[in-house]
Structure 1
Amino acid sequence: MVGRKSLKGDYCPSARSLDVIGDWWSLLIVRDAFDGLTRFSEFQKSLGIAKNILTERLRTLVSRGILEAVPVGDSGARMEYRLTAVGRDLFPVMVALRQFGERHLFKPGEAHSELVDRETGLPVRLDIRTPDGRSVGPDDTVLLKVPEE
């Protein structure tokens, strides 16, 4: 089996981000954490993931600062996994993935979960804007790469 290449030193922020949270199980764990799940058993039930894989993904998410493991109960032997400030910064990523799925992976009228504002019940939509407030898309942007040495 080929080992996974580390992208930790890459000049591209996307590559470094994928190095931290680059597999689908991890993203699904983060999704569930945003939905309020905190316990190992809750993640396992929601995802149907093997316990050894879940253990490894949770360990990795904690070591990379996405989740924190907080002891609970009288003995402190059980843990809850909670999003850190770093993990909460993944919210726009999760919304972008959701919007992609809504636009391209469901037939018109096909039922799917929906992310809504807790206060108003209105759908949440991600809109990319410049600091001066203008909405931008891929044709409006250019990537300034670090020159190769």
Structure 2
Amino acid sequence: MGSAIRESLRELATECSLPAALEAMGERWSFLILRGSFNGLHHFEEFQSELGIARNILANRLSRLVEKGILERRPCPEDRRKIEYRLTDKGYALLPTMIALRQWGERWETRVPAFPVLVDARDRKPIGQVAVQAHDGRVLQKEDLVWALPEEVESESVRAAE
């Protein structure tokens, strides 16, 4: 790879969205709160009981996730004095990330299948592995991937014209 390309990629790396995503999520407790949200937890007491997290840490992490637009606070329909935390569209968009991290942990850290098993609601079969896919659905391996500068990326309109 030429030095000009390396330098351009180095400059672009400083604008990478990964550090921003990590900053938004914070740390371990934020991921566990998010997992709880995906699993139907909505109230402070539910998170606290299920996760065994200290109340002050939970309050801080919930506040941060709300501030980042991942969760939203709203009055509970049954009792407007109570607050519930619900995933936003931005929060739901983290589901593939959560599943990928879980699958990675099963393979490389715990080396045992996670419990409970995540299944397709329609047929109750385990979900497939999260994979990186090409624009046409092909599953890509690490040797299939390269970094490119924005001007080197073929757009959909160019492909459609061919």
Q: TM-score range by the shorter chain?
A: 0.7 to 0.9
Q: 1:121 aligns with which of 119, 124, 142?
A: 124
Shift of 1:121: 0.9
SS in 2 for 1:14: helix
Q: Any gaps of 5 or more consecutive residues in structure 2?
A: 1-13, 151-162
- Give 1:25's aligned residue: 29
Cα gap change, 1:75/1:117 in structure 2, threshold over 3 Å: closer, same or farther?
A: closer
Match of 2:9?
none
Query: Residue 109 of structure 2 aligns with which residue?
Result: 105
TM-superposed deviation, 1:74: 6.2
Aligned length: 136
Work out the CA distance in 2 between the residues paired with 1:62 and 1:143: 33
TM-score (norm 1): 0.83
TM superposition outliers: structure 1 runs of 4+ over 4 Å: none
Find 1:83's aligned residue among 79, 82, 87: 87
Q: Distance in 2 between matches of 1:132 and 1:55?
A: 43
Distance between the aligned counterparts of 1:17 and 1:96, measured in 2? 15
d(CA) in 1 for partners of 2:52, 2:137: 42
Native 8 Å contact 2:106 2:114 kept in 1: no
2-structure distance, mates of 1:145, 1:45? 48
What root-mean-square deviation, in Å, do the aligned CA atoms of Structure 1 and Structure 2 show? Answer: 1.9
AA at the equivalent of 1:137: Q
Counterparts of 1:1-149 in structure 2, within 5 Å, are 10-72=14-76, 76-107=80-111, 112-125=115-128, 126-144=130-148
* Superposition deviation, residue 135 in structure 1: 0.6
* Structure richer in helix, relative to its length: 2
Rg bigger for which structure? 2
For residues 69 and 145 of structure 1, the distance between their equivalents in structure 2, rounded to whole angstroms, comes to: 40
TM (normalized to structure 2)? 0.76
Give the Cα–Cα distance (whole angstroms) in 2 for the partners of residues 84 and 46 of structure 1: 21
Q: Which moved more, 1:136-145 or 1:98-107?
A: 136-145
- Alpha-carbon distance between aligned partners in 2 of 1:42 and 1:144, rounded to the nearest angstrom: 45
Identity, % of aligned positions? 42
Q: By how many angstroms is 1:116 displaced?
A: 0.8
